[in-house]
Amino acid sequence: MTKLLEGKLVTAALKEKQQAAVEALAAKGVKPTLGIIRVGERGDDIAYERGAAKRCESVGVAVQRFHLPMDASQQELLSLLEQVNRDPSIHGVLLFRPLPKQMDDETIRNALAPEKDIDGITDGSLAGVFTGSGKGFAPCTAQACLEMLDYYGYDLKGKKVTVIGRSLVVGKPVAMMLMGRHATVTVCHTRTVDMPAACREADILIVAAGRAGVVGKEFFSPGQVVIDVGINFDENGKMQGDADFAAAQSVVEAITPVPGGVGTVTTSVLVGNVIAAAKKV
Amino acid sequence: MTKLLEGKLVTAALKEKQQAAVEALAAKGVKPTLGIIRVGERGDDIAYERGAAKRCESVGVAVQRFHLPMDASQQELLSLLEQVNRDPSIHGVLLFRPLPKQMDDETIRNALAPEKDIDGITDGSLAGVFTGSGKGFAPCTAQACLEMLDYYGYDLKGKKVTVIGRSLVVGKPVAMMLMGRHATVTVCHTRTVDMPAACREADILIVAAGRAGVVGKEFFSPGQVVIDVGINFDENGKMQGDADFAAAQSVVEAITPVPGGVGTVTTSVLVGNVIAAAKKV
C-alpha cells in the first residue's frame, strides 16, 4: 500500500511554530511582512500569489503587493526594488520570474537586498546553497522537498537520490542540499540517456521535470519515495504533477500527491522565511 | 590498450594561445600579472606556487608574491587583499587555502575583488558556476578537468559522469559544469553506499577523493575515461593520484597519469585566467 505524503501535515507542523514566532515578534512591535512583486498577469503567478497571501494571513504575516504591467521597463522594476529594499516594514520579497524579456534577469535578481531575499534568487543566496554555508535562504521549493522528507522521517544519509530537472528553482539547489545531507545525488535532465534506469535505481526520486505525466511506470521501483514537484493543469483545468500518480501508486513506497503535496509546503516555507528575516532585523 | 591522457599536450595547446594573447596585450602596454598570496609555509602551497610561477614566466605573465606568516591576523590579510585589489598592475590573484584557523574563510574569500578572482573563490564566481551564467572564473582545477576532456575530444552530452568528491574546489563545481554540458552527473562522497557500483556505471569518472589509491579495480569498467585529480605523495615523496593507476590501466579506455595529468593543466588554466582578466581591464 503506497503511503501518501500529504503536504497539509507538514504545513500544520510548520504553522504552529510560525504562529508562535509571529506572536513573539508582535511582543517586540514587529509585524513580519512579505512584499510580493509581480510583473504582468500570468495565471500561475496570480494563483501562487493568492495562495501565499492566504497562508501569510493565516499565521499573522502581512502582505504588501506591488504590480507592474507586462511592458514595464527594467528601470521601473529596479526603482520598485530600491523602494522595497529601503522600506523597513518589508522583511522579505517574493519576485515572480521569469521576467518579461525587456529585463535582464541577473541584473534584477541581484538588485534585491540580500537580507530580504527569502526565495534564494540573489547570487549571495545561490552561493550559500552551492557552498552549503547556510548563508541566505534557499529557493522555497527546494527547501520544501527537504521539509517533506524530514517531516516523514526519511533519513538522507547514504541514500541514492535521483533529481529530474536542473533548474535554479528546484533541481540544482535541491541536489546541493541533498548532497549536504550526505545523499548520493544524480541529476537527470532532457539530455539524459535512459532516464528511467537512472530513476529506478534511486531510493528517493525528486521529480521537477516541468511537464505533466512525463515520469511514468518505467521510472519507478518498489520501496521508492517519490517527491513530485510538478504543477501542471490539464485541458479541464485539473491540477496534476509531473509523475504518473496512478502508475506510481501501484509500485512505490510513498509519493506526494498533486495537489496537496510539495506546493502546499512551498508557501509555508516562504512564510517561514519571511518570519526568519523579520527576526534578524 | 589504455590511452594516456597527458596534460602536456593540453598545456602546449593552451600555451600557444596564451603567448599570442600576451603579445597582443604587450602591444597595448599591458603586462598580465598574477598576484600570489600565501599564508604560512605549507609544502603543497610552496610546490604549487613554484609551478604556477614557472608556467607564468614561460608565457610572459609576471608574478608578484605576497607571503604572510602562519600567525598573521585576519586584519593583516584583509589589508593585503585591499592593497592587491587596488593595485592596477595585478590582474588576477591566487590565494592559498585552507587559511589558518584564526581567519574566517568566507570573509577572506569575499574580500577579493571579483574581477581579480581567477580561481573561483568569491561568492559571485561560485554563483556563476552554480547558475551556469558564465560570470566570473570557475575554480581552475574543475576547469582543467573540462579542458582535458575537450582536448581529447570526449563529447559530454548525455554521458554518465560520476564525480568522487564534493569539495568547492573540484567536486561541486565540476559537477555543475558537466551538467551545463548536458552530462548526467552523479556525485559520490565518503557517505556513499557502494561507491564502486556508482563508479562502474559511469562513462567518465572524475576522481577527486583526496586520498592516494582509494579508487581501486572495483571502481573501473571497460570503455571508461578516468580523470584523476588527486595529488598525493607517498613515504618516499613519490607523487601519485587517487586512482590505482595500475589497476585502471588494465581495464579502462583512457586515464590521466599522475604526475603529468590534470595538475599540469590546472596551472595552465590559472595562467589563462590571468590573461583573460588582463584583457578585460
Nearest CB among B133, B175, B184 relative to A106 is that of: B133
Report the CATH architecture of B140-263. 3-Layer(aba) Sandwich (3.40)
pLDDT score of B123: 93
- B161 has a chain A CB within 8 A of its CB: no
Mean pLDDT of A65-87: 98
Query: What confidence category does residue A213 fall into, taking pLDDT thresholds of 50, 70 and 90?
Result: confident
pLDDT score of A205: 98
The three grid cell numbers given for residue B81, joined into one nine-digit string? 587583499
A15 CA: distance to closest CA in chain B (Å): 32
B116 CA: distance to closest CA in chain A (Å): 18
Q: To the nearest whole percent, how much of chain B has pLDDT over 70?
A: 100
What is the count of residue pairs from A and B with beta carbons less than 8 Å apart?
A: 85
- B127 has a chain A CB within 8 A of its CB: yes
Mean pLDDT of B152-159: 98
Enumerate the residues of chain B whose CB falls inside 8 A of the CB of residue A124.
123, 127
- B102 has a chain A CB within 8 A of its CB: no
Which homologous superfamily is A29-113 in? Leucine Dehydrogenase, chain A, domain 1 (3.40.50.10860)
Separation of CA B51 from chain center: 13
- B114 has a chain A CB within 8 A of its CB: no
Question: Which site among B179, B199, B203 would you substitute to test the A interface, given the most A Cβ atoms closer than 10 Å to its Cβ?
Answer: B179
Indicate the DSSP class of residue A215: B
State pLDDT tens for residues B182-197. Answer: 999 999 999 999 999 9
- B243 has a chain A CB within 8 A of its CB: no
What is the rounded average pLDDT for all residues in chain B?
Answer: 97
pLDDT score of A250: 85
The three grid cell numbers given for residue A136, joined into one nine-digit string? 541566505
Query: What confidence category does residue A100 fall into, taking pLDDT thresholds of 50, 70 and 90?
Result: very high
- A27 has a chain B CB within 8 A of its CB: no
Q: To the nearest whole percent, how much of chain B has pLDDT over 90?
A: 96
pLDDT score of B278: 98
- A191 has a chain B CB within 8 A of its CB: yes
pLDDT score of A145: 98
A172 CA: distance to closest CA in chain B (Å): 8
Query: What confidence category does residue B248 fall into, taking pLDDT thresholds of 50, 70 and 90?
Result: very high
Could you report the predicted ipTM of this complex, rounded to two decimals? Answer: 0.94
Residue A1 has pLDDT above 90, yes or no: no
The three grid cell numbers given for residue A217, joined into one nine-digit string? 511506470
Query: What confidence category does residue B83 fall into, taking pLDDT thresholds of 50, 70 and 90?
Result: very high
Separation of CA B110 from chain center: 19
pLDDT score of A164: 98
Nearest CB among B184, B187, B198 relative to A192 is that of: B184
Q: Domains of chain B: which residue ranges?
A: 29-119, 140-263
Mean pLDDT of A124-152: 96
pLDDT score of B250: 85
* Cβ distance of A187 and B185 shorter than 8 Å: yes
Query: What confidence category does residue B44 fall into, taking pLDDT thresholds of 50, 70 and 90?
Result: confident
CB contact at 8 A, A258 and A230: yes
The three grid cell numbers given for residue A168, joined into one nine-digit string? 535554479
Query: What confidence category does residue A229 fall into, taking pLDDT thresholds of 50, 70 and 90?
Result: very high
Cα separation values, A38 from A71, A100, A116, B191, Å? 12, 11, 16, 42
A190 CA: distance to closest CA in chain B (Å): 8
pLDDT score of B1: 85
* Residues present in chain A in total: 281
B186, β-bridge pairs = A186, B162
Question: Which site among A110, A126, A157, A200 would you substitute to test the B interface, given the most B Cβ atoms closer than 10 Å to its Cβ?
Answer: A126
* Cβ distance of A184 and B184 shorter than 8 Å: no
Residue B180 has pLDDT above 90, yes or no: yes
Kindly report the backbone phi and psi dihedral angles of residue A272, in degrees, each rounded to the nearest multiple of 5, phi listed first.
Answer: -60, -40
CATH of domain B29-119: 3.40.50.10860
Q: To the nearest whole percent, how much of chain A has pLDDT over 90?
A: 96
Strands (E), B40-82: 62-68
Residue B213 has pLDDT above 90, yes or no: no
